[in-house]
Amino acid sequence: MHNLKQKMKQNKTLDFIFSGKILFLLPAFTLISIFVIYPLMLAVGYSFTDYYLLKPNDISFVGFDNYMEIAYDKYAKKAFFNSAKYVIYIVPLQVILSLFLATLIAKKSKTNTLFRTAFFSPYILSIIVVSLLWKNILDPNSGIVNEFLASLGFAKQEFFSDPNLALPTISFIILWQGISFQMLILMAALQDIPSSLYEAASMEGANAWQKFKHITLPSIKGQVVFVLIVVTTGTFKIIIEPLVLTNGGPQGSTSSILLYMFEQGTRYRQIGYSSAITVIFAFILIFIAFVQRKLVKEEEG
Amino acid sequence: MKNIISFLMILLIFLALVACSNSSNNASENSDAEEEVKELEVWVHVPADDPEGENYDVRAKEFEEAHENVDVTVEHIVKTGGGSGYNDRVNAAITTGELPDIIALESVYTASYTDSDILLPLNEYLDEATFDSYLDTIISAGSVGDNIYALQSFDLSSPVFYNEDLFEEAGIEVPADENGNWTLDLAWSYEEFLENARKLKDHMGQEPVHMFTENNGWHMYAHSPIIFSNDARMVGENGLDTEGYLDSNNTKEALQFIDTLFRDGIVASTTREDAFALEEAAISFEGPWMVDVFENEYPELNWSIMPYPYGKDGHQSAPHGSWYIAATQNTEYPELSAELVAHLTNKDSAVKMEEEAGLIPGHQELLDSSETYSDYPRKLMLDQLVNTNHLKPKSPIFPVLEDALGDIMEGIALDNGSLESLINDAKEKVEREADRFK
């Protein structure tokens, strides 16, 4: 029985290949090959070399030296740790708050249209514009937030210069901008839930929490998992905000792993070393996505 | 039959085309032999409508007119923050081996580029008289070892601004020569600077000195001269050794002075934008471009310029450095490229850059006739450019040195660890990178 199933599967694959349908995949496959697979293979190759950007014709194989160096690099460790901090600060809040906002505005009404537009507007702004906007708002000397704090008699806060405040502040800005897109995805999922389910639940005497727990959440589980994976991997990939707002400082407290990799590759010109960081980073992301999917599947089972 | 005719027709057209293309190739080969056009490509980091960009276009045109069969193309690749847009393009060209004949580069990167055999030694193609015209500081910044690789027609030296009104109110006597000018030889030592800054603090009730504290290249440009003036160095002659340099007593003494500025509340731990313009600071380490800002936007501000404070006698130091022009090893015409570098940075360029951008002329002959820098306080910027030490490290790992100094300065400002631990961390960072080059 098992062999039969496998044979049928093989036949289907062969049919797909020879029927010409595979041609439809070709454009996407070509683009992915050029812009994702090929650079990744190059990065893997370079990670075993001492490639220095200014000496492209003098590259030597160094084995696992770059990987060993990462293990002893306290700045790399700090950057990995910072990226994990960003994930801890941002992911749970972003998923919960986007779900909360989506629930609030899922129903079609004129007021909700207004709210939807308002909530979504940060997303259409460029990350650099948003970063500069918040930099002004939170400026220790002339920023509106500090002016307000001062008027209440509180001390002015160095949001981007205080090593303890800088990372949470950047996390807040990322959260503020990113929440709207996830909200939109979840809102679309919420609108797909048949209203008859809620009507039936109401007739059975279910309260709002019970409806949310037993109808809403199970119905949008797929989308929640999607949002969770996208937000987690996206948060690990943070680079522009710390680059624009603090350049990784103060004292490296906001540097993310991607920013550190970028700095090693472009500023210090150590392509071999930064490629090794890229490879480790790619494995971490694949691992996280895999674990998240596995956990959700197990729960479904 | 029809097919045969079609085939013959296509064959005929094909042969005709081949014949035509051959004849045109022959024609072009003949004309090439007669007059070969030498094409030179120049990449600069400034837009065409900027005075500097415009100057390169004008000089390129002049060069074409003065040389038969030479075609110069200037490509303006605008730099973004930290020079990244332009630098990315140069880096990509290095990777693919497609560098142009001439490039603009930050003078501090000359050592990195020469270490990688990217630049052409100009002294092999130009005579000594050509170099004699330039300021020593420009020749020094563009040289590595015995060779000169990069030149520029102007330079910058960042001033230390002070507020005359606040000085007077605080009872500080401004040092002056017989003409009433605060000249270079009357600079304050570390101790004098501290003593007067404390008086200013007592009078103002807040941090009287303004410094930018963020960790970026500014520390190396504007603040490192304070350290170097104590006969201190970051690295040895080879640009890689830190032992006995970054951790020397002189370096520690200089950093201790900076630490005192922050611990005694003379400098604020974080940057206060516009503090000097708003008279919330009486002394400020800011860029020379602020002269125009103060004159145009703050006409009431009674500002002047004082010399950089120094640590040890005879070691006065001041900021310098800019983007320079260099020829690359990629050029097919080294002699012509070297000549073009000299032409792009000639005296006419210096005059134009002074007139249009207020920059210090980079040719000896023009210093006396300089209108902008003939009187104090602006003359002080010229004096410190010409007469002080310029000890920014010439090292293939300059970006790491810049960051390491930034880490120390930021650490001092934020009081993040002892001076000893900050120096050790910076030393470790530099050594790790230096090991790759040893």
Q: What is the pLDDT of residues A2-39, one digit of tens each?
A: 566 666 666 777 776 677 777 888 899 999 999 989 99
Q: Do the chains contact at B214 and A56, CB–CB below 8 Å?
A: no
Arithmetic mean of pLDDT, B306-321: 92
Confidence of residue B219 (pLDDT cuts 50, 70, 90): very high
Tokens at B321, concatenated: 């450095």
Please tell me if residue A65 touches chain B, with a CB cutoff of 8 Å: no
CB B208, CB B201: distance < 8 Å: yes
Please tell me if residue B213 touches chain A, with a CB cutoff of 8 Å: yes
Whether residue B27 has pLDDT greater than 70: no
Whether residue B33 has pLDDT greater than 80: no
- Residue of chain A with shortest Cα separation from B397: A268
Helix or strand run (H / E) with residue A124: helix A110-124
How confident is chain A (301 residues) per 10-residue block, as mean pLDDT? Answer: 64 71 85 92 95 91 94 93 94 92 82 82 85 88 87 87 92 91 89 88 88 88 87 90 89 92 91 95 88 71 52
Arithmetic mean of pLDDT, B163-175: 95
Q: What is the pLDDT at residue A2? A: 58
More confidently predicted of B80 and A196? A196
CATH says A75-300 is which class?
mainly alpha
Q: What is the pLDDT at residue A1? A: 53
Arithmetic mean of pLDDT, B290-296: 92
Round to whole Å and give the CA distance between B253 and B269.
Answer: 20
Specify the range with the lowest mean pLDDT, choosing from A3-17, B259-273, B350-364.
Answer: A3-17
Q: Which of B94, B215, B436 faces A247 most closely, judged by CB atoms?
A: B215
Mean pLDDT of chain B: 89
Q: Do the chains contact at B95 and A55, CB–CB below 8 Å?
A: no
Q: What is the pLDDT of residues B243-258, one digit of tens each?
A: 899 999 999 999 999 9
Please tell me if residue B269 touches chain A, with a CB cutoff of 8 Å: yes
Q: How far is A72 from chain B (nearest CA, A)?
A: 11
Q: Do the chains contact at B416 and A52, CB–CB below 8 Å?
A: no
More confidently predicted of B9 and B211? B211
HSE toward the beta carbon, residue B99, CA cutoff 13 A:
27
Q: What is the pLDDT at residue B17? A: 46
Q: How many CB atoms lie within 10 A of CB B54?
A: 16
- Residue of chain B with shortest Cα separation from A69: B432
Please tell me if residue A77 touches chain B, with a CB cutoff of 8 Å: no
Q: Do the chains contact at B399 and A140, CB–CB below 8 Å?
A: no
Q: How far is A139 from chain B (nearest CA, A)?
A: 10
Residue of B149, B215, B274 for testing the chain A interface, max A β-carbons within 10 Å = B215
Q: What is the pLDDT at residue A132? A: 87
Q: Do the chains contact at B416 and A163, CB–CB below 8 Å?
A: yes
Chain B residues with CB under 8 Å of A140 CB are 270
Q: What is the pLDDT at residue A25? A: 85
Q: Which residue has the tokens 């170099």?
A: B131
Q: What is the pLDDT of residues B141-163, one digit of tens each?
A: 999 999 999 999 999 888 999 99
Arithmetic mean of pLDDT, B227-250: 92
**A270: Cα separation from own chain's centroid:** 26
Please tell me if residue A250 touches chain B, with a CB cutoff of 8 Å: yes
Interface confidence, given as ipTM, is: 0.79
Among residues of chain B, what percentage have pLDDT more than 90? Answer: 73
Q: Are strands B154-155 and B360-361 parallel, antiparallel or unpaired?
A: antiparallel
Q: What is the pLDDT of residues A241-265, one digit of tens each?
A: 999 889 898 888 999 999 999 999 9
One-letter identity of residue B187: A
Residue of B410, B424, B435 for testing the chain A interface, max A β-carbons within 10 Å = B410
Please tell me if residue A54 touches chain B, with a CB cutoff of 8 Å: yes
More confidently predicted of B392 and B28? B392
Question: Residue B362 in 3-state DSSP?
Answer: coil
Chain A residues with CB under 8 Å of B213 CB are 161
Please tell me if residue A136 touches chain B, with a CB cutoff of 8 Å: no
Q: How far is B94 from chain A (nearest CA, A)?
A: 6
Domain parsing of chain A, residue ranges:
75-300
B398 Cβ contact list (under 8 Å, min separation 6):
B108, B109, B111, B112, B239
Nearest to B354 by CA among B365, B366, B341: B366
Query: What CA–CA distances, in Å, run from B299 to A3, B278, B292, B302?
Result: 89, 11, 10, 8
Residue of A69, A74, A141 for testing the chain B interface, max B β-carbons within 10 Å = A141
**Domains in chain B, please, with CATH?**
36-156+321-387 (3.40.190.10), 160-319+397-435 (3.40.190.10)
